[in-house]
Each structure stands twice: as C-alpha cells, then as structure tokens.
Amino acid sequence: MEYRIEHDTMGEVKVPADHYWGAQTQRSFQNFAIGTETMPVEVIRAFAALKSAAAAANASLGRLDQERCRAIQEACSAILSGEYKDEFPLKVWQTGSGTQSNMNANEVIAHIGMEGRPGLLIHPNDHVNMSQSSNDTFPTAMNVAALAALRDYLYPSLDRLAATLRRLEEENRDVIKIGRTHLQDAVPISFGQEISGWRAMLEEDRRMIGEASDHLRDLAIGGTAVGTGLNCPEGFDRLCCEQISAITGEAVRPSANKFHALTSKDAYVFTHGALKALAADLMKIANDIRFLASGPRCGIGEISIPENEPGSSIMPGKVNPTQCEAITMIAVQVMGNDAAVGFAASQGNYELNVFMPVLAYNMIQSIRLLGDGMASFEKNCVCGIRPNREKMAKNLVRSLMLVTCLSPSIGYENAAKAAHKAFEENTTLKEAVLALGFMSSEEYDERVRPEKMV
C-alpha cells in the first residue's frame, strides 16, 4: 500500500495515499480498532449538511472567502449524494465527544475541496471547522441525523402499517369473535374492533414520536467548546440553522441555552422513549397475531397469516409466524437500546456529555430496525391476515362469558351459577341456564345475541 505523510499538532502520520482523510482520522483508525460498529451513515450525512451550512454562514458573516466556501459546499454535496462512503471508517467506540468523527469530516471535506484547485489551501480546522467545536457539532449532527432517519425510515413504514390495519379493521367490522382478558375468555368483540386497537396504538405512537422529536430541533451549534460560543461570531448559530433546514428539509433552530444543549441529552432520551413505546406496542400486536394464528389444529387458530417459508428442518410441513418473531426481536433490541440511551444521557459531566457516539448509534439503529421491521411485517404478514370465521363462530358459541349479558335479567350470582354448571358438566351455557330454570329457550335466544354485545 502506498502512503502519504500528513501531520497534525502531534507530528507526522502515514495515511493511505488513496484516501482523503488526514492525520487525526488515521490516529483514531489505528487507536480504536474496537468492534465492527462504524459511525452511522446518517451521522456522516448530517455532518456534511452541517459543514456546508457552516461554510455558508461564515461566508455570509465575512469570515470565509467565497472560493473556499464554494469548495467546501461542493465537497459536502458530493458526500450527501452518496460519494466517498469509504472515507468515514471510524468506529463508534472512540472519544465520547465524537471529536474524531468531526475531524474525519473536516479532513475529508478539506481534501476533496482542494482537489482540482491548485494553490487553494483548505485547512480542516481553520476553514471547515471555522466557528465550531466538536462539542457543538457532534450534538448538532446527531440530532439532525435522528430527525432525518425518522422522516426517511420510520414514518413511511409506520404509516403504511397503520393504513393496512385500518383496511383490515373495515373489512372485519362485522366479524364477531370472543374477546379475551387475562388469557381467558371474555365477552364478544368484533375482529374489526380488535384490529382498531392495534391501529390506534400505532397512530398514537406516531403522535408521541413527533411531539418528542420536536425537541431534537433545538441545536447546540454556536456553543463551541463549553457553551459560551467562544470564537463564534454573533448570528452564526441562526444562519447555520437556516442553512441546515434548507439542506435537510428539516426545520431546526438554535438552542436557547447552549450550556444545556452541550451537556444534556434529554431530548434524545425523550425521543427514544417514544420509540420504546412503539416497540412495546409492536410486541403486543405481533404476539396477538401469532397467538391468534397458533395451530393450525391444536392452537387458537382464529386467523391465518401468510406462509412464507418452511418452519422446521426436521418437521415436514411446519410453518411458523416468523415475521412476528422478527418484529418482537426488534422490539427487544430497541428496549435494550433505550436502556443504553438512558445510561449514556445521564453522563453529562460538567459542560459536556461524553457518551454521544453511543447515543447516536443506538438511536439510529432503533429507528432503522423499527422502520425496516415494520415494512417487512406489513408486507409479509399483516397485509395477508384473514379471519377463520368458522373457528371464531365455534369459539364464540362455546364461550361461557356470554353469560355476562344475562346478569341484568337473572342477576350476577345466578349467572355465575350457570357458567360454573356449564363448565363442570361440559354442556353449553344455554343448556345450563335452562336446566337451572332461569330462562326459557326463547328468552335465552332473545337475550344472548353476540352481534348486539359489541
């Protein structure tokens, strides 16, 4: 491999000649060979948007000349378009401020910007990082990355899944089945009503995530090292946020208190908590679906779901609810990520939180997993749910909890006697009520009408 010599304040470093990064990136690449988790591409893209915005703001304030501004912005545009993906190799497990990823962006942008411009010097710190510090750029980038990921990956899948459930709700509004509480038989419910609960969960989660993530729009940029804004000109934060909004399509604003923005990650905790709520609801929905589809002969079997692949390497013909299993595993991972986010956010020591890379990594992973998982769940399972009307009707007739509608006529205690008698003697509820003399056959048929109980 061929190398070139780069230098930083600690001296010279050999850097692969075919890469655009510089000395500080190389030092991090060598010193933190930990795990396989690299900085999420969403964070890299957010850095490119931020650096382009900062260049424009600095040029507008007369601090950066137009030629360097244009070169920096063109480099950032190329990164945003998907070029230079191999120039960002740094691991999540690095300095907790994300300084090395900030410098990775600075160095790559500087070298790309100088390419094809003989005689133009773009310094990673002096020009690309002008009016900034890693301490305000990384928290800015991680917020912008989360907002973009929610918009691009999570909301489309969430909305599509909710829409499919709404369709199924309408299609099954008149399908009556037995309800269940405590895993035991309860009073009747329509299948459409049951699905409406699932649909409403997702719509409420959507609202909660939107409300929580609004706090991510308050950016730390302009706070520089400790929140005082040292070396940052007045108005830079506002201009930078305006440019970030224009580049990303996400409306952002300067944080009113930069000291808070640098040291606290409460907005991340709040937003990820809403993601955990979505994960919890998806766990419930997927479990309901796989339990209702259990069987095919020895389970509940009230619904059928798509059969996508063989389920066993030893049992021929077995088919499993694999999409439900995948989404529930994702839910578990998101819940674990939420614990990591909470712990990491609690570590804001003095003027800076130094757990930011792991915060960003877990947030982006949760959003991606939920988005991809819901898309797969909707496409390969939920859209193909069909009611087993015969089994639903059979279970409905056999349920003893239909006796609930008799309480106003024969009283709670007599209704309980009828239910116990039917269960103990393995007869129908109607037979028990008639045997106890509580009602005539005609009175029973008039009173026990499941379609009127929902």
Q: Which of 52, 81, 131, 182 is catalytic?
A: 182
Of 262, 261, 255, nearest in space to 240 by CA: 255
Residue 317 token pair: 């013909």
Instruction: Classify the C-alpha dihedral 121-124-125-127 as positive or negative.
Output: positive
Active site residue 264: no
Q: Which of 312, 346, 407, 409 is catalytic?
A: 312
How would you class 73 by CB atoms within 10 Å of its CB: exposed for 0-12, middle for 13-18, buried for 19 or more?
buried
Q: What does residue 111 show for φ and ψ, rounded to 5 degrees?
A: -70, -40
Give residues with Cβ within 8 angstroms of 108, minimum separation 6: 20, 21, 25, 75, 79, 84, 87, 88
Q: How far apart are CA 275 and CA 265, in angstroms?
A: 16
Q: How far apart are CA 67 and CA 76, in angstroms?
A: 14
Residue 10 token pair: 């600690």
E strands in 52-194: 176-181, 184-190
CA dihedral 147, 148, 152, 158 (to 10 degrees): -10
Q: Are 289 and 303 in contact (CB under 8 A)?
A: yes
* Chain CA centroid to CA 183, Å: 29
Q: Output the CA angle 327-330-331, nearest 5 degrees.
A: 90
Q: How far apart are CA 270 and CA 114, in angstroms?
A: 41
Q: How far apart are CA 251 and CA 1, in angstroms?
A: 44
Active site residue 77: no
Q: Are 385 and 168 in contact (CB under 8 A)?
A: yes
Q: Output the CA angle 210-211-215, nearest 5 degrees.
A: 105
Residues for the chain: how many in total?
Answer: 454
How would you class 98 by CB atoms within 10 Å of its CB: exposed for 0-12, middle for 13-18, buried for 19 or more?
buried
Q: Are 171 and 389 in contact (CB under 8 A)?
A: no
Catalytic residues, which ones? Answer: 182, 312
